[in-house]
């Protein structure tokens, strides 16, 4: 099952792989015990989530990769299909432990924390698309004043090559060509 055939995204959408991920993730939720504790970690976290009336279950990536390293890698490289399976399993586990909770929340979200790879926001590139990443940084709004020459070759209404009336919009800082001197926009 661990021999990937094709891309990760194709691989994790196969039915047998989805069933395998579901089985292993359910096992993880119902059996993982943190070092130094006797409690089943995620049953405890599910109970706390239900008591707080929340619908997001946080999964520690480092704990998950220690138990199921291949699936954790699949999660990082193809998060959407793997998270779909994990959320379905989490929902079934939560509703089996707390049957009436489905009246409060119909969906349970899985949130992944403690991802080991950390990138600055300014280092994000196309290679990061559709993968799970952890970023840090500050997002600020920037305005850039750039002037570029635009050559208008014909009227947008009648396609003539005459004089043009220009409307400058202050709000958008743009220029709209409305019509030429010949057709006046068919006014």
How much is the pLDDT for 125?
74
- Token pair 């993982």 is found at 32
* Stated pTM of the model: 0.68
111-170 pLDDT per residue, tens? 999 988 777 776 777 776 777 777 777 767 666 555 555 555 666 556 666 555 555 554
Kindly provide the residue ranges of all beta strands, DSSP E only, lying in the chain, ordered along the sequence: 56-60, 109-113, 118-120, 134-136, 164-169, 174-180
Give 78's pLDDT tier (boundaries 50, 70, 90). confident
17-59 pLDDT per residue, tens? 999 999 999 999 999 999 888 899 999 999 999 999 999 999 9
**DSSP-derived 3-state class of residue 154:** coil
Pure H helices in 32-78: 41-51, 61-67, 69-77
- Has residue 177 got a pLDDT over 60? no
- Token pair 């090559």 is found at 161
CATH topology classification for 8-136? mini-chromosome maintenance (MCM) complex, chain A, domain 1 (3.30.1640)
Structural domain boundaries in the chain:
8-136, 148-187
């Amino acid at each position: 099952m661990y021999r990937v055939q094709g891309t990760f995204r194709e691989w994790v959408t196969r039915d047998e792989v989805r069933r395998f991920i579901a089985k292993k993730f359910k096992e993880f939720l119902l059996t993982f015990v943190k070092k130094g504790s006797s409690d089943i970690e995620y049953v405890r976290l599910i109970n706390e989530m239900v008591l707080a009336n929340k619908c997001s279950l946080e999964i520690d990536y480092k704990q998950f990769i220690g138990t199921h390293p291949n699936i954790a890698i699949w999660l990082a490289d193809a998060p959407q299909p793997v998270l779909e399976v994990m959320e379905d399993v989490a929902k079934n586990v939560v509703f089996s432990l707390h049957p009436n909770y489905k009246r409060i929340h119909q969906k349970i979200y899985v949130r992944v924390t403690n991802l080991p790879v950390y990138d600055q926001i300014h280092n994000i590139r196309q290679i990061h698309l559709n993968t799970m990443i952890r970023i840090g940084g500050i997002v600020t709004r920037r305005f850039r004043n750039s002037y570029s020459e635009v050559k208008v070759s014909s009227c947008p209404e009648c396609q003539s090559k005459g004089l043009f009336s220009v409307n400058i919009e202050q709000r958008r800082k743009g220029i709209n060509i409305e019509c030429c001197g010949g057709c006046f926009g068919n006014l």
